[in-house]
Amino acid sequence: MNAAAPLERISAICLALPEAGTRLSHGAHGFHVAGKKMFAYFADHGHHGAPVSIMVKTSGREEQEMLIEADPGLYYWPAYIGVSGWIGIRLDGDGEPDWDHIEDRVRQSYRLAAPKRLARLV
């Protein structure tokens, strides 16, 4: 899979959120809120062995386990940041990703990372 098209789509979703920005972080495209906390990372093949995917924050271990159990073909435990409550969502499965679902997960992650004044806007 060519990672350019999913990265373009992920960037559009993330950067449409209030005060969102992007920067490279540990070799991955990272998305932050208000210049501070990261709320999403885009990974392509070769980045710590990750599939083409987006990694987003969850409320914690219980939610991570529930998501992976519900759909292990879509969700995975990302290296290094999984222990901090992040979940990986594969974008390189069969067919087109469910972009509405991905946008919803990105928005949830943003709300977990954003200051309250910005989280209320989403």
Given this model, what pLDDT does residue 51 score?
A: 86
Task: Quote the domain boundaries for residue 6.
Answer: 1-76
Residue 91 lies inside a defined structural domain of this protein: no
pLDDT of the residue at 31: 98
In a domain, 81, yes or no: no
Alpha-helical segments (H) within 1-88: 4-15, 61-70
What proportion of the chain, given as a percentage, has pLDDT over 90?
80
Q: How confident is the model at residue 1 (pLDDT cuts 50, 70, 90)?
A: low
Total domain count, the chain: 1
Residue type, 3: A
DSSP run (H or E) holding 99:
helix 99-113
113 or 26, which is more confident: 113
Please tell me which residue, 113 or 2, carries the higher pLDDT value: 113
Condensed to tens digits (0 to 9), the pLDDT of residues 91-119 reads 988 888 999 999 999 999 999 999 999 99
pLDDT of residue 49: 64
Using alpha carbons only, give the angle 43, 46, 49 rounded to the nearest 5 degrees: 85
Decide if 39 is inside a domain: yes
Please report whether residue 63 resides in a domain: yes
Per-residue pLDDT averaged across 26-49, rounded? 86
Tens of pLDDT, residues 67-92:
999 999 999 999 889 999 999 999 98
